[in-house]
């Protein structure tokens, strides 16, 4: 990489660190190219992104951001997984780490708050924003559905009574 490319990468990473909801830092030592590609694919499907960069460049990008406290995590072969959804990146990283012990979660950040590996794992156990939205819509719709069933019940009973009377008269 020449200096211009490095500057561009540092600027892009600085923007990620400044504007992203959650960042997970992990060691990926020993992962093959196909395993790393699989990890990237799963993260993308979950709504997250995976980035590998030189630690020195990452530390430069961290300077002046709220998340500069995670700079000590960047030793050895590290990658970052990030997303705007506070659950997508941790869930993608933790799920892949469960299946592949070569990916080791080191920690991360959520907003300005630094997280250790256990914090990232507990964040991954939470439901995603889409799941929460679905549950909320279900809770809002449930009372309306119950009201509609209660309101329709008397009319249904009347219809069954009239039908039974009509069948009695036809039989007689």
Cβ pair 28, 103 in contact under 8 A: yes
- Pair of tokens at residue 128: 């995603």
The helix (H) or strand (E) run that includes residue 139 is helix 129-171
Right CATH for 3-126 from 3.90.950.20, 3.40.50.150, 3.30.70.1730, 3.30.360.10: 3.30.70.1730
Q: How far apart are CA 163 and CA 161, in angstroms?
A: 5
At residue 52, what are phi and psi to the nearest 5 degrees? -115, 130
User: Once rounded to an integer, what is the mean pLDDT over residues 95-106?
Assistant: 91
**Residue ranges per structural domain of the chain:** 3-126, 127-172
Residue carrying structure tokens 């009347």: 158
Q: What is the pLDDT of residues 35-48, one digit of tens each?
A: 999 999 999 998 89
Query: Does the reported pTM lie above 0.85?
Result: no
């Amino acid at each position: 990489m020449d200096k211009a490319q490095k500057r561009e990468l540092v600027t892009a990473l600085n923007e990620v660190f400044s504007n992203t909801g959650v960042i997970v830092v992990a060691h990926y030592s020993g992962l093959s190219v196909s395993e790393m590609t699989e990890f990237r694919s799963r993260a993308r499907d979950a709504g997250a992104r995976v980035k590998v960069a030189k630690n020195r460049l990452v530390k430069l990008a961290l300077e002046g951001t709220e998340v500069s406290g995670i700079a000590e995590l960047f030793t050895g072969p590290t990658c970052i997984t990030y997303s705007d959804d506070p659950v997508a990146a941790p869930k993608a990283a933790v799920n892949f780490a469960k299946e592949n012990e070569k990916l080791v979660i080191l920690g991360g950040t959520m907003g300005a708050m630094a997280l250790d590996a256990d914090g990232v794992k507990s964040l991954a156990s939470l439901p995603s924003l889409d799941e929460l939205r679905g549950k909320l819509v279900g809770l809002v719709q449930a009372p309306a559905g119950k009201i509609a069933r209660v309101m329709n019940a008397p009319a249904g009973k009347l219809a069954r009574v009239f039908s039974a009377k009509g069948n009695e008269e036809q039989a007689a």
